[in-house]
Chain A
Amino acid sequence: MPWKENNNGKEPWGEPDQKPSNNSKKKNYGFNIDNLLINFLSKIKKIFFNGGTGNKKSFISAILILLVIWLLSGFYKVNANEQGVILRFGEWIRTTPPGLHYHLPYPIEIAKTPKVTKVHKTEIGFRTFRESTRFLSEESLMLTGDENIVDINFSVFWIIKDAGKFLFNIRNPEKTTKSVSESVMREVIANTAIASVLAEGRKEIELKSIQEIQLVLDNYGSGVQITQLQLQKVDPPDQVIDSFRDVQRARADKEKIINEAKAYRNDIIPKARGEGAQIVQQSEAYKKEVIARSEGDINRFNSILSSYKNNESVTKNRIYLETLEVILQNANKVIIDTKQGSGVLPYLPLPEITKRKRKNKNESNNINKNEPSNINEENVQNVQ
C-alpha cells in the first residue's frame, strides 16, 4: 500500500495533480466526476486547439496504441480440458474447441472457458469433509419394493458434456444433478426387493440408475454427462443390522453342519468298505482252509488206507487197541461183571465221582495251560 504513506489519508484516485499539468483546478482534491471530466475535456481542448502538431501526433498514436491493445485483448486460449463459450452482448454465439482463438474485444464479446474434463462428484447419503465423513440418514434410508428399508450411500461422477447447455439451459446444474440422482435411485430401489439390493442386484441398480439419471438430465438439456455411479454402502439400517448378520451366521452354520455331515460320511463309508473287504477276505481264507484241511485229511486217510490194505486185521486191531489205550489211560474206570452183578443193583456213587473229578480238574489246571493248543484251534474254527 504505498500510497497510504504519502497521501495523508486522501483517496488514492483523487490525485490527478501529480501529473504535470497547468490546469487551474488542480488543487481541488474532491473525488468528483465533474472535475475529472472537466480536467479531461480541457486537456483535449488544449491538444486540439492550443497544442502544436507534435502533441497532436502523440495523442493519435496513443489512441492507436490503446486501440491495438484493446483489439489484441480479444485473443483467448482454450486449454485442453476446457471449452470456449463466446457471448456477444450476452448472447451465446459459438462454442470453440481447445486452442488459441479470437473474439471481438470486451464489452462486445466475452469468452467463458468452463473446464469440461473435470470430474465432478456428487455425494448422496453422506458428505466428506477432507478426511471425515458425515452420514445423513434422511438421505440414505430408502424404501425397497417389498416395504423394507435399506441404508444406501452413493456417489455420482459427472462431467460437463456440453458447456453451452451447462451454462445456459439450466439453473443450479449441481443441485439438479443431485436431486435427480437421489430421486432416480429411490425410484429404482422402490422397484427392487431388499434381498436383491443387498446381494446380487448392485450392478444392475448402478446401471439402471445411470441410464435413468442421464435420460432425465438430457431431457432438461443440462449438458451434464454421468460418467460413473458408485454404490458405496448398501446395508440394512443400523436398527436391524444384527438380525441380518445373524442370517449370515445362520448361513455359515448351515454350511458347517453340512460339511460335518459330509466329513462323517467320508469317514464311515471307506471304513465300511474296508470292513466288507475284510469279511470277504476272511471268507476266502476259510474256504481255502476247509478245502485244504479236507484234502489233507483225505491224504492222511489215503496213506493210512494204503498201509492198512497190506495187513488189514493186524492194523485194525492195532488201531483199536491203541485208541482204547489212549482213551482209558486217563479215564476213571469201573468194571462190573454183568454175570455176577446182575442180581444185585450196582451202586454207583455218582456225586462222589463228580466231586473227585472237580478236584482233579483244579489240580490239573496248571498242566492244562501248558497244552492249550487244541482248544485254541477249536476256538479259531468256531469263529470262522
Chain B
Amino acid sequence: MFSKKIFIPIILFLLFILFSALFIVKQTEQALILQFGDPIRIIKKPGLKIKIPLIQNAIFYDTRVLDFDAEVEEVILSDQKRLLVDAFIRYKIIDPLKFYQAVINENGFKARVGGILSGSLRRVLGSDPLEVVLSKNRSGLMEKIQEEIDKEAVNFGVKMIDVRIKRADLPKANSEAIFARMRAEREKEARQFRAEGAEESQIIKSTAEKERTVIIAEANKKGQTIKGEGDGEAVKIYAKGFKKDEEFFAFYRSMEAYKKVFADSEDEPTFILSPDSDFFKYFNNKSGK
C-alpha cells in the first residue's frame, strides 16, 4: 500500500510535465519561446511542439491579417478645408521577436501605430487640397501613407498590408454649406431647363408661323399668276372676237354700257336732253327731217 501512495503522485507529476512540455501552435498562430523571460526561439510553423517545462514559456501571436481601425481624425487640408478622416490598417506580424521587444502585444502596437497613422494622415493629406483628395489621386495618397507607416512598422516586426481611408467627410458645418450650394446649383439647373424649354418652344412656334406665312404667300403668288393667265386669255379672246367688226363692236358695246350704267343702276339718273338729238328725230317731225 505504501508503494501505491508514492506511485500515484509520481505519475501525476510526469503527466503534468508532459503536458506542459507539449503545446500546440495553431494554424493562425506563431509562437515566441521565452526562457525565464528571455526570447530564445521563434516557431512559425503550426503543429505540436515541445518546450522545456517550467523553464520556458510560449507567447502566441496571430499570423493572420489583423485589423486596426483608427479613431476619426480631423485633418486640415492645404486649402484650409477640414476633413474628418476615418482610416483603417491591415497588418501582419512578421517578426514576433521584434514585436515582443517593441510593443509586447497587440494592444501595445495599437497604441503606437495609432499615433503614427494620425501623424502620417495629417502630413500627407495636409499637403494637398480637397480636389486632390477627392480624385483618382486618393489611392496614391493612401499608398504614400502606407509607405510612411511601413517604414516605422518595420521596427515593430510588422508588415503593413494595407492602409485605407474608409470615410473622408466634411464636418457638419461644411456639409450645410455644401447642401446650400447643391440647392443653388439645382435651382440654376431647373431654371435653365425651363428657359431652354421656352426657347425651343419659341423657335418651333415662330418657325411654324413663318412657314405658314410663306405657304400662304406662295399660294397667293400662284393664285395671282393663274388669275393673270385667265385675264390675259380673256383679253385675247375678246380682242379676237370683237376684231371681226370694230365699228359694230363699238356701237354694240356702247349700248351695253349705257344700259348698264343708266338703266341697271340703282340711282335714277336725270337726263337733260335737247330736242335736237337723234332720239327726238321723229318727235319734232314725223318725216324725221
* Complex-state Cα separation, A288 to B231, whole angstroms: 10
A312 to B251, CA, bound (A): 12
What separation, in Å, do the CA atoms of A204 and B285 have in the docked complex?
Answer: 121
Q: Quick check: is B74 within 8 A (CB to CB) of the other chain? A: no
Taking a contact as CB atoms under 8 Å apart, the answer to whether B161 and A331 are in contact is no
Interface string of A308-327 (1 = CB under 8 A from B): 10001000100111011011
**Closest B residue to A297 using CB positions:** B238
> Contact residue range for chain B?
35 or more
Chain A residues positioned under 8 Å from B266 (CB to CB) = 361, 368
Given the interface pairs A89-B47, A186-B168, A295-B237, the reply to whether A250 lies near B67 with Cβ below 8 Å is no
Residues in B with CB closer than 8 Å to A332 are: 268-271
- Residues of A42-85 contacting chain B, CB below 8 A: none
Question: Is A294 in contact with B233, judged by CB distance below 8 angstroms?
Answer: yes
- In the complex where A247-B190, A374-B264 touch, is A302 in contact with B223 (Cβ < 8 A)? no
Given A190-B138, A220-B90, also A239-B179 (CB < 8 A):
yes
Which segment of A4-12, A13-21, A169-177 sits at the interface? A169-177
How close is A380's CB to chain B, nearest CB, in angstroms?
14
Q: Output the least CB separation between B30 and chain A (Å).
A: 11
Stretch at the interface among A96-104, A154-162, A265-273: A265-273
- Within the complex, which residue of B24, B133, B270 is in contact with A353, where a contact is CB–CB below 8 Å? B270
**Complex CA distance for A76 and B265, rounded to whole angstroms:** 129
Task: Give the interface centre of B90, B161, B203 by most chain A CB atoms within 10 Å.
Answer: B90
Asked whether B178 is an interface residue with its Cβ less than 8 Å from the other chain, the reply is yes
Given the complex, which residues of B lie within 8 Å of A153, measured CB to CB? none
Find chain B residues with CB under 8 A from A319 CB: 251-252, 255
Instruction: Compute how far the CA of A233 lies from the CA of B10 in the bound complex, rounded to whole angstroms.
Output: 71
Chain A residues with CB under 8 Å of B192's CB are: 250
Q: Name the B residues within 8 Å of A357 (CB-CB).
A: 267-268, 270
Residues of B within 8 A of A251 (CB): 193
Q: What CA separation (Å) do A34 and B7 show in the bound complex?
A: 12
Pick the contact of B135 from A138, A179, A191 — CB < 8 Å? A191
A338 touches B229 (CB 8 A): no
User: In the complex the two chains form, is B268's CB within 8 Å of A331's CB?
Assistant: yes
Report yes or no: A337 in contact with B274, Cβ–Cβ below 8 A.
yes
Query: In whole angstroms, what is the CA distance A353 to B274 when docked?
Result: 19
Min CB–CB distance A83 → chain B (angstroms): 15
Question: When A286-B227, A295-B237, A329-B263 are in contact, do A260 and B178 touch as well, CB less than 8 Å?
Answer: no
> Which B residue's beta carbon lies closest to that of A317?
B278
Given A256-B197, A301-B252, A305-B244, also A179-B233 (CB < 8 A): no
> Which of the segments A115-123, A127-135, A143-151 contacts the partner chain?
A143-151
A231 at the interface (CB under 8 A from B): no
A344 interface contact, C-beta 8 A:
no
Instruction: Check A273/B46 contact, CB under 8 A, given A254-B193, A301-B242, A361-B267.
Output: no
The answer to whether B65 and A287 touch across the interface, beta carbons within 8 angstroms, is: no
Measured between beta carbons, the chain B residues less than 8 angstroms from A41 are: 4, 8
Closest residue on chain A to residue B131 by CB atoms: A147
A219 with B162: CB separation less than 8 A: yes
Q: What separation, in Å, do the CA atoms of A312 and B245 have in the docked complex?
A: 12
Given contacts A89-B48, A294-B234, contact A302 B244 (CB under 8 A): yes
Say yes or no: is A29 at the interface (Cβ < 8 Å to chain B).
no
* Known A-B contacts A90-B47, A331-B268, A357-B268; A338 and B276 likewise in contact (beta carbons under 8 Å): yes
Tell me, yes or no, whether B173 is within 8 Å of chain A by CB: no
Interface residues of A in 229-245 (CB under 8 A from B): 236-237, 239-240, 243-244
Contact: A333 with B273, CB < 8 Å? yes
Chain A residues in 8 Å Cβ range of B64: 168-171
Would you list which residues of chain B between 253 and 284 have a CB under 8 Å from chain A?
255, 258-259, 262-264, 266-276, 278-280
Does A304 sit within 8 A of B, measured CB to CB? Answer: yes
Interface presence of B175 (CB below 8 A):
yes
In the assembled complex, which residues on chain B have CB atoms less than 8 Å from the CB atom of A280? 219, 222-223, 226
User: Is B241 positioned at the interface, with any CB of A under 8 Å from its CB?
Assistant: yes
Smallest Cβ-Cβ distance to A320: which chain B residue: B255
A228 within 8 Å of B by Cβ? no
How many residues of A are in contact with the other chain, CB < 8 A? 121
Given A269-B212, A273-B215, A302-B241, decide whether A90 and B46 contact each other with a Cβ distance below 8 A: yes
Residues of A within 8 A of B167 (CB): 138, 182, 186
User: B46 touching A91 by the CB < 8 A rule?
Assistant: yes
Q: Does A38 contact B (CB under 8 A)?
A: yes
Pick from A91, A168, A190, A277: contact of B45, CB under 8 Å: A91
- Chain A nearest CB from B78 CB (Å) reads 15
Nearest residue, chain A, Cβ from B283: A335
- In the bound complex, how far is the Cα of B28 from the Cα of A126, in angstroms? 32
Contact with A along B1-22 (1 / 0, CB 8 A): 0001000100000000000000
Inside 8 A of A264's CB, which chain B residues have their CB?
204-205, 208
CB distance from A261 to the nearest CB of B (A): 4
Evaluate whether A254 and B194 lie within 8 angstroms (CB atoms) in the complex, with A90-B25, A334-B273 already known: yes
A261 and B273 in contact, given A180-B164, A295-B237 (Cβ under 8 angstroms): no
- 22 pairs of residues in contact across A and B, judged by CB atoms under 8 Å: A91-B47, A141-B169, A147-B134, A179-B67, A183-B88, A183-B166, A187-B138, A219-B161, A237-B179, A250-B190, A250-B194, A256-B197, A261-B200, A261-B202, A265-B204, A294-B234, A297-B241, A308-B245, A308-B248, A323-B258, A332-B268, A338-B276
Closest 5 CB pairs of A and B: A287-B230, A276-B219, A298-B241, A254-B197, A283-B223
Binding site for A on B (CB under 8 A): 4, 8, 24-29, 45-48, 62-67, 69, 88, 90, 130-131, 133-136, 138-139, 161-162, 164-170, 175, 178-179, 182-183, 186-187, 189-194, 196-198, 200-205, 207-209, 211-213, 215-216, 218-220, 222-227, 229-231, 233-235, 237-238, 240-242, 244-245, 248-249, 251-252, 255, 258-259, 262-264, 266-276, 278-280
Name 14 extra pairs, CB < 8 A, besides A90-B29, A275-B215: A91-B47, A143-B170, A170-B64, A187-B165, A190-B138, A220-B162, A239-B179, A240-B186, A268-B212, A269-B208, A272-B213, A291-B230, A305-B244, A305-B248
